[in-house]
């Protein structure tokens, strides 16, 4: 009897009958702001690609009336939606004109996007994932905000399953020292960031110390001293041109990899395509397994 009840509950969760959001809903965003939704949002503007991708993946894409400049996946759907600028250059007038009942923004103090939108009289949730765990947390939050909790649960389950299957292909491999560059300044990724965790799961040993933060600006000398076996995020030509880098193990062996545009988007966005990002990293680090 207990097994049958458990099976029924599981089926209800997967079908979407359960996990309905109750409104009014009050939630706290990453800035510590409390926002209240009086009813299920019907008109949403997403100002980050990760938010856009998540809404489509959980079944809330039909609520989107506007997206940021960089949202490009899924392509057919995003091509049809109005683009309303970016975090640092938002078109406030265009956003307001769309009459959204919810705007999804970031919590960045440098862009002050959430503050700007709130001053325009909009209901804004400010928050993005920085760590691996937060990726799943944010999917759950967006599911709750949009009354798509069942869709969020399905997505999280699928993502974890896909990533575990990829990790299983790497069992028994040795960790490979790796430097991942996200900007030629250079900025890199710390081990506790979502990209840093992906590197570890892909069979890499990140050369960036954890104490520097999730996405630190680093000294090029740090890379020279660490002498990584693999470099990701720049071209071999660029690596060869940097002072002291042409003798590094990764450069000498030609193991410097520049992701494709699609792979780069997946790697840089804490959202539904984590498995795409993990596969790309695993192929760079352990091509023999793929």
pLDDT tens-digit series, residues 191-243: 999 999 999 999 999 999 999 999 999 999 999 999 999 999 999 999 999 99
What pLDDT, on the 0 to 100 scale, is given for residue 1?
A: 38
**Cα angle 67-70-75, degrees, rounded to a multiple of 5:** 75
Using only C-alpha atoms, the chain has a radius of gyration, in whole angstroms, of: 21
pLDDT average, residue stretch 134-148: 97
Q: What is the pLDDT of residues 73-109, one digit of tens each?
A: 999 999 999 999 998 999 999 999 999 999 999 988 7
- Residue 121: left if φ>0, alpha if ψ -120 to 50, beta else—which one? left
Residues 155/57, Cβ–Cβ less than 8 Å: yes
Q: How far is CA 83 from CA 22, 65, 70, 105, in A?
A: 31, 9, 8, 14
- Record the pTM: 0.90
């Amino acid at each position: 009897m207990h097994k049958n009840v458990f099976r029924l509950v599981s089926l209800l969760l997967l079908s979407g009958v359960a996990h309905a959001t109750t409104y009014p809903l009050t939630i706290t965003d990453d800035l510590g702001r409390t926002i209240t939704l009086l009813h299920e949002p019907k008109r949403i503007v997403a100002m980050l690609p990760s938010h856009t991708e998540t809404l489509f993946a959980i079944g809330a894409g039909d609520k989107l009336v506007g997206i940021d400049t960089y949202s490009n996946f899924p392509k057919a759907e995003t091509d049809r939606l109005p683009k309303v600028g970016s975090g640092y250059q938002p078109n406030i007038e265009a956003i307001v004109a769309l009459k959204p009942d919810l705007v999804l923004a970031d919590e960045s103090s440098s862009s002050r996007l959430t503050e700007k939108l709130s001053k325009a009289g909009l209901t804004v949730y400010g928050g993005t994932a920085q760590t691996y765990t937060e990726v799943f947390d944010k999917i759950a939050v967006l599911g709750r905000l949009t009354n798509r909790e069942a869709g969020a649960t399905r997505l999280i389950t699928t993502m974890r399953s896909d990533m575990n299957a990829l990790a299983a292909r790497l069992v028994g491999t040795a960790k490979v020292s790796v430097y991942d560059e996200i900007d030629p300044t250079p900025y890199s990724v710390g081990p506790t960031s979502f990209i840093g965790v992906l590197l570890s799961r892909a069979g890499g040993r990140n050369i960036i110390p954890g104490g520097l933060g999730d996405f630190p600006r680093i000294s090029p000398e740090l890379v020279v001293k660490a002498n990584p076996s693999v470099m990701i995020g720049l071209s071999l030509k660029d690596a060869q041109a940097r002072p002291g880098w042409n003798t590094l193990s990764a450069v000498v062996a030609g193991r410097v990899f520049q992701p494709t545009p699609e792979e780069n988007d997946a790697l840089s966005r804490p959202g539904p395509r984590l498995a795409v990002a993990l596969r790309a990293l695993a192929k760079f680090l352990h091509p023999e397994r793929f």
